[in-house]
Chain A
Amino acid sequence: MATEVGPTPVKAPASGGTPIHHGPKGVGEDNKILSQGKWAAWLLAPTIIALAIVIVYPIISAIVMSFQKDAGLDPATGLFTAGGPAGVQNYVNWIAQQCATPGGGTVACPPGTLGAQFWSATTTTFIFTIITVTLETVLGFWMAMIMARNFKGRSLVRAAVLVPWAIPTAVTAQLWLFIFDFQGIANKLFNASILWTGSEWPAKWAVIIADTWKTTPFMALLILAGLQMIPAEVYEAAKVDGASAWQRFRMITLPLVKPALMVAILFRTLDALRMFDLPYILTGGANNTTTLSILVINQIRQGFNAAAALSTITFIIIFIVAFIFVRFLGANVVEQSGATGKGKK
């Protein structure tokens, strides 16, 4: 992380456009660019130092902590004593779902401990992520298509769509908690008596519905931005060539909006993998809705060091997902933008 966060902003102006365009103009210009680069480094230094303090230091500190044992109780005095170095034991305990025993060994964590929830929390997190991101992409795309059209009251619609996104997540969760109450409107509306927060799949769907309601606007806005970058002439040309609406969508809209769409999906995926507030307030993590973030927060109250290990594991999981996105789908983004660039010229 440290190396990535550090140099990228410094490099940014160099690869960002201007210097490259001015590049071939002469030696004097080169010197100017060099000193400009130096200046840039100096001007960016405060930001980088601030980032190092607020991001890099806590990360390193968390990783160091994750290799320490949590404090144990001295049976004679009843006071806590320092745990000492743990090696990779904290990590092994989480992944193998092992808990310490009074005798000093480890056993498989019994149900009712946080240690027994690691794999179910991982599964739950991915289930939530896959379903919500899929729903949000489809609905967001549809909303973006509507907002991109010219019609009377368009700005009103755009503002209205943003409302769910503007409400703080905790408030959203509380609202949906009322809706999913046994006597709440969800049951009244469908004349049902579902215990929304009281059994496994209804609880999962409650979280998914609330999350989709809240974050689809974010998706829609990012996709809308992508849609508006598509020049109208392309569509006109396609129309002249006799392309049907479906052909225009598949052959023009989809490929051209893909870079923006990928960024939107990446953002949402990383965000969904960290999901905390909604399930925490709606179900308290009951009925198999405990996500990795909820598990980390619960563990913090029971022992910092094991929590640090778990948050590092979570970090690695999210990193792998992000890596896959940037490597495979991100490479696509670069190719696409190059190709369309040439095509337009």
Chain B
Amino acid sequence: MKSPKFLLPVATAGVLALTLSACGGGGGGGTTTGGGDAEAGLDGRGPITYVQGKDNSNVVRPLVAKWNAAHPNEKVTFKEQTDQADQQHDDLVQHFQAKDANYDVMSVDLVWTAEFAAKGWLQPLKDKMAVDTAAMLPSTVAGASYKDTLYAAPQNSDGGILYYRKDLVPTPPKTWDEMMQMCSIAKQNNIGCYSGQFKQYEGLTVNASEAINSAGGSVLDKDGKPSLNTAEAKEGLGNLVDAFKDGSIPKEAITYQEEESRRAFQSGNLLFHRNWPYVYNLAVTEGSSKVKDKLGMAALPGKDGPGASSLGGHNVGVSVYSKNKATALDFLKFITSEETQRFYATQGSLAPVLTNLYDDAALVKKLPYLPVLKTSIENAVPRPVTPFYPAVTQAIQENSYAALKGDKSVDQALSDMQKSIETAGAGS
């Protein structure tokens, strides 16, 4: 009977201590002066390390082996991270903060690029370190730039595609209004009309910015300031809200992430479906799919023509702390070369960043969505390029979610979004 008395303070202390220590691991904040590190090691050659998330489709290892065979004195070591984006981000941040010279080249998600650039962690790709981007899709280059300077080389791209039922819709809609008119077809067949991803998470930022950009608005202006108090932004978000209201978007779509919406479309319950290219393979091969030979693909609908997809994908950057930047640059060029890009597409189904590959007959045969994806990416707008991305995406998600559920008017949601993003830019 003594034990509880003795256990209590110790156990309490222990449990409490864990609460706090779990949060203390962040280290000393992210501040740098940049400058000097970016000038060092520009001519350095020697072994380097390439850091990327889990290599699910086994593309990195063969590439690295190929590079190493050709460059015995400048070998690349592959450091594989987890397959969770948040963990990859935090791992990179920790190594940058420690000024680790062993993280030479890394794969950087599109939405982290501005943050890392503003922290002074990524080597600006200019002068001696310049990379030729002429052959690349312009939107992918924009997604790798911050303040008009290229900070990373685009590695692979991704854009939204409108999947539709070609057995029910002979020609796909070009504009949002056309699509909404076709919803009567869905009603006749007793299925839902349209769905993207509307749960409160990153996918909602993608869908809401697509709606706003497609209507001619934008989340941030050229200077990175929010620009949401516009008629275009109102029309864009309003389109989604109205579609929810009149049932064109089924009410359960408010709980959809990518997979839930894909399942709904694949089981034949949706006429139109916005999703990423990965859906194509599953929809035509999975046994449970009811849309195998009824699957059509088109560019996202916009105001007068193709809509503005949100851009996904990865860039490759060079750490300012790397000692062998000349080797790193060569490796960057190797990754963005046509040969490697083709390999990425065939082996890993990763959409290339080089424009001409989208018209390559052999590739199109293997990945039939490439022509549609090309239109999508050509019209794509990178998700807001800002070093405050986490705060910006939070503001978009929370307020557009409230608007979609009808808890808030579109005007109120946009004005709250505007104000939230303004305070985010002001620091904390």
Contacts and interface: CB of A to CB of B under 8 A. Distances in A.
Contact of A182 (B26, B252, B417): B252
Interface stretch (A39-47, A145-153, A160-168, A191-199): A191-199
A78 B118 contact: yes
A306 interface: yes
Contacts of B86: 301
B5 A111 contact: no
B352 to A, nearest CB: 30
B288 to A, nearest CB: 13
Interface in B3-30: 4-30
A28 interface: no
B20 A311 contact: yes
Nearest to A17: B2
Interface in B118-165: 118-120, 146-147
B224 to A, nearest CB: 8
A292 B424 CA distance: 20
A264 B428 CA distance: 39
Nearest to B225: A102
Contact of B20 (A59, A101, A337): A59
A99 to B, nearest CB: 4
B4 A262 contact: yes
Contacts of A90: 428
Given A113-B423, A304-B27, A319 B428 contact: no
Nearest to B148: A78
Contacts of A306: 428
Contact of B254 (A12, A195, A330): A195
Given A195-B255, A302-B428, A99 B390 contact: no
B5 A337 contact: yes
A301 B254 CA distance: 25
A224 interface: no
**Residue of B118, B252, B427, B428 most packed against chain A (CB within 10 A):** B428
Given A111-B402, A311-B24, A68 B29 contact: yes
Given A100-B426, A195-B252, A312-B20, A326 B398 contact: no
A193 B24 CA distance: 43
B394 interface: yes
Interface in A67-122: 68-73, 78-83, 90, 93, 99-104, 107, 109-115
B26 A308 contact: yes
Interface stretch (A30-38, A131-139, A240-248, A266-274): A266-274
B366 interface: no
A16 B20 contact: no
A17 B394 CA distance: 55
A308 B6 contact: no
Contacts of A115: 423
Contacts of A217: none
Contacts of A5: 13-14, 17
A81 B120 CA distance: 10
Contact of B31 (A61, A82, A318): A82
B120 A79 contact: yes
B301 interface: no
A259 interface: yes
A73 B427 contact: yes
Contacts of B9: 4, 8, 326
B361 interface: no
Q: How large is the interface on A (under 10, 10 to 19, 20 to 34, 35 or more residues)?
A: 35 or more
Contact of A80 (B32, B260, B395, B425): B32
A285 interface: yes
Contacts of A102: 422, 425-426
B393 to A, nearest CB: 10
Contact of A298 (B26, B118, B394, B428): B394
Contact of A302 (B31, B391, B417): B391
**Residue of A71, A80, A302 most packed against chain B (CB within 10 A):** A80
Interface string B31-44: 11010000000000
Nearest to B254: A198
A73 B387 contact: yes
A306 B390 CA distance: 14
A58 B25 contact: yes
B428 A80 contact: no
B290 interface: no
Interface string B247-284: 00001101100001001100000000000000000000
A125 to B, nearest CB: 12
B28 A65 contact: yes
Contact of B6 (A16, A82, A284): A16
Interface in A197-247: 197-199
B428 A198 contact: no
Contact of A319 (B14, B16, B395): B16
B17 A318 contact: no
Given A8-B9, A266-B8, A83 B24 contact: no
Nearest to B399: A112
23 contacts: A8-B9, A8-B10, A12-B6, A62-B23, A68-B29, A71-B30, A71-B427, A78-B146, A83-B31, A102-B425, A109-B420, A109-B423, A112-B417, A198-B199, A198-B405, A263-B8, A286-B200, A287-B200, A301-B89, A303-B427, A308-B24, A315-B20, A337-B1
Given A301-B390, A322-B16, 16 more contacts: A5-B13, A9-B10, A12-B10, A65-B26, A69-B428, A80-B120, A103-B426, A111-B398, A181-B255, A199-B405, A298-B390, A303-B29, A307-B26, A319-B16, A326-B9, A337-B1
The 4 closest A-B pairs by CB, nearest first: A58-B24, A311-B23, A286-B200, A112-B420
Interface of B: 1-2, 4-32, 34, 86, 89, 117-120, 146-147, 199-201, 251-252, 254-255, 260, 263-264, 387-388, 390-391, 394-396, 398-399, 401-402, 405, 416-417, 419-420, 422-428
